[in-house]
Each structure stands twice: as C-alpha cells, then as structure tokens.
C-alpha cells in the first residue's frame, strides 16, 4: 500500500499559511474581467512554454503567445498536444480527484501511444511494477488519510512520486506537471486559473533536479521536497496577490470613470493591444471571424472616445494603439 512519509515542519506550516492567505485575497478580490483574462492567459502561456522546453521545443514566450492566440500559423505538434492535454484536464474536472484513467489519457495525448512503459528506465521501478504502484497511489488519495492531506501537500507528493515512478516511455516530467496542477484544481485550489509554478521550477532547476535525483527505492521522504514546493508557491502566490490588489484599486478607478463598461468584444480589443501593441484593419477578420468590419470599427470608436486607445493614419491603413 502507498503511504507517503513526510513531516510537517515549521517552514511547511509557515508556507501553507502564506498560501492560504494569498488564496483568500486572490479568490475574493474583484478585478476587471479583461485583466483577469489577461493574467489567466499569461499563466497558460508560461505553463506551455515551460513544458515545450521539456519536449525540446525552445521558443520565446511571445511566439508561444502567438500560437495560443492563433495569430500565426504552423504551431508545432508538441504545442498542439499540450493544448489538447490541457483541454482534456479541464474537461474531466468535476470536483472529483484525478484517476489512473485520466493520467493514462493525458500520456496518450502527449506520447501518441497507449499504456505504461514496457522498458526499464534508469532509476525507475520495473515495468511490471508500474500498474500496481500507480493503482496504489490513486487508492491512497481516496483513503481518509489521502482526503485529509492538504491539497498543496497532495499535489507536491504526486509530482515527486510520478517523477520517481516514470510510468511512461517518455515525457514523464511533463505528465507530472499536469498531475500536479490537476490535483490542485480538483481539490479546489485552482487560484482562479491565474497561477502556475513552472517559472519557479525552471528558475530553480538545479534544486528541482537535486530533489528528484534523491528519490530512489520505496522509502521516499517527501519532507524536503514539500518545503521546496510550498516555498515556491508561497513566493509566487504572494506576488500574484499583490498584483491583484493593485488591479483591484485600478478597477475601482475604472468603474468610477466609466472605463470599465466594456463589451466582451471591446475587452478582446484591449487584450490584443496589451499583447501585440498595434491593431490594424487587416487583423479584424482573424481576431473576430464572425463579426463584420463595421461592428469592430464601432467598438474601436467607443474605446477611442473613452481615451483607452488612440488611432493614427486613415482608412484601411489605420493603426490602433493603447493610449
């Protein structure tokens, strides 16, 4: 039976306390929908870029954002696979925990093959042990002990355990990142989809690899790993909390001046300009494929009148930028 070994240290308690405080602020503070959508997209793009690197696709954040927004063609298959896995994870979200079947489906999307590995991997258990160990892990999550484990600790354990288990032929680190975020979401710690920890893991990659390299055999002590993960979460969520508080103040100003009364299409225009700087008439059909050019121009006129954007040029050569 799977039963993780770890101690609740003062550092873990402190980190969990900071995480809970930041979570309360993030989930109970109202900001403009356009700003919330912007942060959510930034989070998704960071998650995608980080995992693309693990799939040996090294590209700039701006390029990943362009693929995400479909403003450029020829996105690589690896990006398409990550997007499909992410959509699948959102689709299966129902308030219940992830299951073994969910993890196998994510691996199938990313690896284009079914089933667990049938080859030995250095540092991982034998192929014939994988099914039993995976089932035991998911069985534990449904026990009283597993259900009473704090979601952040559970997600941390799951990431480490699947890094150790290496259940699939390839891309186990990427799959473990989906497992980590999946357990957080399914246990109510989505943080409004405004947060991921990939930047922290990438910036402290030597420490991450050091922790992973120490996992061997059956007796894994997760204490130091949980301290490391919760420390990163406390830092990143504290930064997000402060950003949300600033945006909340600006939201009040925007509402008081009438700048907050945007339609969804106007919000999309502002979001596009925040990302790419300039909007031209030729971009309308790509951004709003089901909307007439005249309708977009009317929205632009409203935003100009509110002082949100400014126009230069004339007729078809017009350029629109944030004021």
User: Does 285 map to a domain?
Assistant: yes
Pair 114, 245 in one domain: yes
For the chain, what percent of residues have pLDDT higher than 90? 62
Q: What is the pLDDT of residues 189-228, one digit of tens each?
A: 999 999 999 999 999 999 999 998 876 556 789 999 999 9
In this prediction, residue 260 carries a pLDDT of: 60
The CATH number assigned to the domain holding 308 equals: 1.10.10.10
Q: What is the pLDDT of residues 158-170, one digit of tens each?
A: 999 999 999 999 9
CA dihedral sign of residues 97, 108, 225, 216: positive
- pTM, to two decimals: 0.83
Pair 96, 235 in one domain: yes
Pair 128, 229 in one domain: yes
CA 151 to mean position of chain CA atoms: 16
In this prediction, residue 31 carries a pLDDT of: 87
CA angle 199, 204, 210 (to 5 degrees): 135
**What distance in Å separates the CA atoms of residue 82 and residue 55, rounded to the nearest whole number?**
10
Choosing from 215, 249, 283, the residue where a domain stops is 249
User: What Cα–Cα distance (Å) separates residue 88 from each residue in 42, 54, 290, 293?
Assistant: 19, 20, 26, 34
Number of domains in the chain: 2
In this prediction, residue 215 carries a pLDDT of: 67
Whether 82 has a pLDDT exceeding 70, the answer reads yes
**Confidence category of residue 95, pLDDT binned at 50, 70, 90:** low
**What distance in Å separates the CA atoms of residue 217 and residue 209, rounded to the nearest whole number?**
17
Q: Which of 37-46, 174-183, 241-250 has the lowest mean pLDDT?
A: 241-250
User: Does 99 map to a domain?
Assistant: yes
Query: Which residues, 6 or more positions from 297, have their beta carbon under 8 angstroms from its beta carbon?
Result: none
User: Does 188 map to a domain?
Assistant: yes
Beta bridge partners of 312: 319
Question: Mean of the pLDDT values across residues 97-106?
Answer: 92
Q: Which of 53-62, 121-130, 227-236 has the lowest mean pLDDT?
A: 121-130
Q: Which domain holds residue 225?
A: 10-249
In this prediction, residue 257 carries a pLDDT of: 56
In this prediction, residue 216 carries a pLDDT of: 59
Q: What is the pLDDT of residues 21-69, one digit of tens each?
A: 999 999 999 888 888 988 999 999 999 999 999 999 999 999 999 999 8
Pair 115, 206 in one domain: yes
């Amino acid at each position: 039976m799977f039963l993780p070994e770890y101690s609740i240290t003062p550092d873990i308690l402190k980190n969990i306390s900071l995480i809970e405080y930041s979570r309360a602020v993030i989930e109970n503070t109202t900001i403009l929908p356009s700003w919330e959508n912007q942060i959510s997209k930034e989070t998704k793009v960071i998650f995608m870029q980080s995992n693309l690197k693990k799939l040996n696709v090294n590209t700039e954040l701006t390029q990943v954002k362009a693929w995400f927004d479909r403003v450029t063609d020829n996105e690589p298959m690896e990006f398409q696979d990550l997007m499909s896995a992410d959509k699948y994870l959102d689709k299966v979200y129902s308030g219940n925990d992830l299951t073994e079947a969910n993890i196998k489906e994510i691996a199938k999307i990313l690896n284009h093959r079914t089933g667990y590995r049938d080859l030995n991997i250095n540092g991982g258990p034998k192929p014939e042990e994988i099914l039993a160990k995976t089932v035991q892990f998911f069985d534990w999550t449904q026990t009283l002990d597993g259900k009473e484990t704090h979601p952040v600790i559970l997600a941390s354990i799951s990431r480490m355990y699947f890094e150790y288990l290496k259940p699939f032929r390839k891309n186990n680190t990427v799959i473990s990142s989906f497992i980590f975020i999946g357990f957080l979401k399914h246990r109510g710690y989505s943080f409004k989809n405004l947060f991921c920890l990939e930047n922290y893991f990438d910036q402290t990659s030597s420490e991450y690899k050091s922790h992973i390299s120490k996992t061997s055999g059956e007796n894994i002590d997760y204490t130091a790993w949980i301290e490391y993960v919760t420390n990163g979460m406390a830092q990143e969520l504290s930064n997000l909390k402060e950003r949300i508080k600033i945006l909340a103040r600006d939201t009040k100003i925007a509402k008081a001046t009438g700048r907050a009364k945007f339609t969804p299409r106007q919000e999309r225009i502002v979001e596009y300009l925040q990302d790419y700087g300039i909007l031209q008439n030729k971009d309308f059909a790509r951004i709003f494929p089901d909307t007439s050019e005249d309708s977009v121009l009317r929205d632009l006129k409203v935003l100009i009148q509110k002082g949100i954007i400014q126009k230069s040029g004339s007729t078809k050569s017009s350029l629109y930028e944030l004021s």
